[in-house]
Amino acid sequence: MKKLYLTSSAALILIGLVHTVFGILSAKEFSSEILWFISTGLFISIVGLLNFALAKRHVQFEQPRAVQIVNLLCGSFFMLLVLADPMPIGFVLLIAQMINSIASWKIVRQQLNCCHNYQLHSNE
């Protein structure tokens, strides 16, 4: 599951960066539409980076549930994207985000159980 989590997180990072670069390169002039396009790519990359950090456990989150909330919001966004315009890339994003959501719930549950067990044994 961890390899799948890392792969889907990396896919989000890559898709987000391509989205951002494509937006910058295709812009003849910066309008609000282009800036929204670029910011969506940045948003996708940041969600991927958060999940990648959680999967690699390089970052010990004070509030690991924040990643779960971000995943829920991002998954909702991608679902609306697929409903509004059923493009193949939208389905790829939705599937990657579903994998991230499931994996992050498992990791956060493990972290919280570990912390809870530590607190129980330290109070004895």
Average pLDDT over residues 70-81: 90
The percent of residues above 90 in pLDDT, for the chain, comes to 35
Residue tagged 């829920």 (tokens)? 72
The confidence score (pLDDT) of residue 54 equals: 83
Average pLDDT over residues 9-31: 91
Residue 89 reports pLDDT greater than 80: yes
Q: Provide the whole-model pTM.
A: 0.75
